[in-house]
Chains A and B, each alone.
Chain A
C-alpha cells in the first residue's frame, strides 16, 4: 500500500498533465484488480449466504414433518384425556343406574358407547340398605385409533343400592 502511494505521488510530481494519467491509469488498473478480488470475495459471501439459506430451508423441510407428527400425537393425547374423563363419568352414571335397579348396559349404549364391555357386580342388585353395586367399564378409546393404536380405558364406580 505504501509503495503504491509512492508511485502515484511520483507520477503526479512530474507536473505534466499527461504525466498524471499513467499514474491514474496505473492506480485505476490496480484498483480494478482489487475490485475484482473484492468481487470474488463478495460472490463467495453471497454464495455462502445462499448456501446457508438453502441449508436452513432444507433443515426446516426435514423438521416440519416431525413437528407435524408431534403435534398430531399431542392432539391425540389431549383427546384421549378428555375421553378418559368422559368414560369415568359414564361409569358413575352406569353405577347409579344399576344401584337404582335400571340396566347399566342401556345407559352405556345410550351414551354412544355400545362397544364397551360392562361388568356389573353383583349382576342383579339387591334392595337392602348397605348393599353396593360395582360397575366396571372397558371402553375402546377412539382418539388413539386415529394413529392405529388400540387402547381400552378402564373405569370403575361403586354405588350404594338405593333402598
Chain B
C-alpha cells in the first residue's frame, strides 16, 4: 500500500511538473502569437497610412494641375478623385480656395481614406485617412523699374 501510495505521489508530481511545462509553453506560444498579430496589424495600418499619404499628395497635385491658370479644365475635385482612386484611396473631402492677392492663387485641400487590407482590423479601426494641400506658386514678376543712377 505504501509503495502504491508513493507511486501515486510520484505520478501526481510528474503530472504537476508536466502541467507547469505545458503552462509555460502555452504562455510563450500565446504571447508570441499575440505579439505577431499586433506586429502584423501595425504593419497593415502603417502601410495604409503610407498609401494614404501618397494618395493625398497625388490628389492635391492633380487638383491643382487642372486649374485654368495652367491650362486645365478646372475640375479640381474630379481630378483629385481620379488620382486618389489610382492610388487605392477614396477621396473624402475636397476644398478649392481662391485668393487673387496671395502668393498661391489656388489651393486645393483634400482628405483621402485608405482601408487596411485586414478585414477585422478595418472593421475595428476603420479607414486610415491623410490630408494634403496643393497650391500654385506665382512666379515673381521681374522688377521693370529703372535703376536709380547717380
Contacts and interface: CB of A to CB of B under 8 A. Distances in A.
On whether the two chains bind one another, the answer is: yes
B9 to A, nearest CB: 8
Given A81-B39, A92-B57, A130-B73, A55 B17 contact: yes
A77 B36 contact: yes
B58 A159 contact: yes
Contacts, number: 99
A46 interface: no
Given A129-B65, A130-B66, A163-B71, A92 B24 contact: no
B60 to A, nearest CB: 10
Contacts of A88: 47, 50-51, 54
B13 to A, nearest CB: 6
A131 to B, nearest CB: 9
A91 to B, nearest CB: 7
Interface residues of B, number: 38
Contacts of B83: 132, 158-160
A98 B44 CA distance: 27
B79 interface: yes
A74 B35 contact: yes
B116 interface: no
B73 A157 contact: no
Interface in A41-66: 44, 48, 51-52, 55-56, 59-60, 63, 66
A157 B39 contact: no
A74 B39 contact: yes
Contacts of A55: 17
Contact of A132 (B13, B17, B71, B86): B86
B62 interface: yes
Contacts of A44: 6
Interface of B: 6, 10, 13, 17, 20-21, 24-25, 28, 32, 35-36, 39-40, 42-43, 46-47, 49-51, 53-54, 57-58, 61-62, 65-66, 70-73, 79, 83, 86-88
What 3 A-B pairs have minimum CB-CB distances, sorted nearest first? A88-B50, A81-B43, A160-B62
